[in-house]
Amino acid sequence: MCDDVEDDSKLRRGKECIHLLYGVDIAVNAGNAMYFFPLAVFRDYHKNKQVSDALLIRCYELYGQELLNVHLGQGLDIHWHQGKKNPNIQDYLQMCAYKTGVLARLSARLGALLSGANDEFINRIGLFAESIGVAFQIQDDILNLVGEEFASKIDMPGEDIHEGKRSLMVIHSLSVAPKEKAERLNEILNSKTSDRNVINEAIGIIKYTGSIEYSLQVAKDIIAKAWNGIEPLLPENPAKTKLKVFADYLVNRNV
């Protein structure tokens, strides 16, 4: 909800954003409240003596650190789409790890921690979850520009161009495009235009440089590397198969 307010989005997955339905004040307040609901789960676990005091403290520490990372990632994204800096590819991947990957990492690490897993497994499953979160974000950015079914669920196709977002596709395109095309793409991004023809021009430059194909391959490579890192630690069972299918789906989906 707060993300939609910051981006001035109109639709979220095909439905009108909360701040447009009920106002910015309610959206921000509700979004902030969502941070604290999981703490009630920790409290109940401890109240029912399902976790020790030491384990509860580890959960709180993990939760607090990862939520801070989310805001660091969002802050970087905001800074860049305000046109104050053009990040490089590693900058972008780190931002995604914070903004998107960290939520998946938090869930996986908490689950492993509460199930009694050792520290190595907690860290490895966390890295795997973070990686598929990053790949998910890359695919989301791709679909924002060229996904026909995805377009029906957002305010406008190419919304990220209107917001001036420096996605992996944009960063790659700016680095390999001829000087005039790179300068024009940068100009369009900084203009925050809503003109459909101008947005299409920017998408055309990105397509011209092969940056969509490049970004998709990066996402697939991230998934493959992440799976290779966790696969040996997982027992052979239906849950393992489903996890692999889910990871592959994230970079092959249309919505």
DSSP one-letter code for 16:
E
Of residues 175 and 159, the one with the higher pLDDT is: 175
Q: What is the pLDDT of residue 27?
A: 83
d(CA 230, CA 239): 13
Domain coordinates in residue numbering, the chain: 68-249
DSSP one-letter code for 12:
E
> Out of 1.10.600.10, 1.10.3720.10, 3.50.50.60, 3.40.50.970, which CATH number does the structure's domain 68-249 have?
1.10.600.10
Q: Which amino acid makes up residue 248?
A: D
Average pLDDT for the chain: 88
Q: Which amino acid makes up residue 7?
A: D
pLDDT in tens, 211-254: 999 999 999 999 999 999 999 999 999 999 999 999 999 888 87
Coil/strand/helix, residue 152: coil
CA atoms within 13 A on the CB side of 169: 31
Distances (CA, A) of 27 to 32, 116, 165: 9, 37, 23
Q: How many helices and strands, by DSSP H and E, does the chain display? A: 15, 2
Does residue 197 register a pLDDT over 80? yes
Please give the angle made by the CA atoms of 65, 68 and 71, to the nearest 5 degrees: 155
For 72, residues 6+ apart whose C-beta sits below 8 A from its C-beta are 98
pLDDT grade for 152, boundaries at 50, 70 and 90: low
Mean pLDDT over 186-195 rounds to 92
